[in-house]
Amino acid sequence: MNEEPCKVLVVDDERDNADTTVTLLEIWGHEAEAAYSADDAIAKAKALDPDVVLVDLLMPGKDGFQL
């Protein structure tokens, strides 16, 4: 098992869900950032270059499937 931390982007329009997930991932030693829309996620993914992206599939506007 790889013990190195991951860079994780959490995408969810429900801010509490995204922020809680980011906090939990950081407690576990990972670098995590939240995005609250598909467009925000695209911009943050370019800057963060994440290893993993956790995406809410049912978001207003562009949903997780379109992202």
pLDDT of residue 20: 98
Query: pLDDT at position 3, please?
Result: 79
Written as tens digits, the pLDDT of the chain (67 aa) is 567 999 999 999 999 999 999 999 999 999 999 999 999 999 999 999 999 999 999 999 999 999 9
Give the up-direction half-sphere exposure of residue 39: CA atoms within 13 A in the CB hemisphere. 3
State how far the Cα of 67 lies from the Cα of 61, in Å rounded to an integer.
Answer: 10
* Whole-number Å distance between alpha carbons of 60 and 49: 24
Q: What is the DSSP string of 35-67?
A: ESSHHHHHHHHHHH--SEEEE-S--SSS-TTT-
In this predicted structure, what is the pLDDT of residue 2? Answer: 66
